[in-house]
Amino acid sequence: MFVKIHKSYRTVVAVCDDEIIGKIFEEGIKQLDCRENFYKDRILNREELIKLLKMQALEDATFNIVGKNSVDAAIEAEIVREGNISKVQDIPFVLIF
């Protein structure tokens, strides 16, 4: 899974499954744009991602997470619950502020 950390007044952690990076998904007025320049920096395995998500949650980061594997890792890291997950064309995503 790709991870990119954006530093601003508040850290934004962008996570995307590697197989959907660079793709756009549309459903009605909803659109998921998995732009490489937003999500693509480091590639992490599941265990590394879970550790990073837990650490960033302690730092009060915001999260933009797209894709089944990435969202599943966020659930395992206990930063998101299944009821908070949205989908566009069956691609799960979650925004955590």
Residue 8 belongs to a domain: no
**Structure tokens of 33?**
């744009």
Residue 3 belongs to a domain: no
Say what percent of the chain tops pLDDT 90. Answer: 96
Q: Residue 26: which domain range?
A: 18-96
Per-residue model confidence as pLDDT tens digits over 34-81:
999 999 999 999 999 999 999 999 999 999 999 999 999 999 999 999
Residue 51 belongs to a domain: yes
Residue 79 belongs to a domain: yes
Residue 12 belongs to a domain: no
Residue 6 belongs to a domain: no
Q: Given a cut of 90, is residue 82 above it in pLDDT?
A: no
Helix and strand numbers, DSSP H then E, in the chain: 3, 8
Total structural domains within the chain: 1
Residue 62: which CATH number? 3.30.1860.10
Which pLDDT value is given to residue 26?
Answer: 97
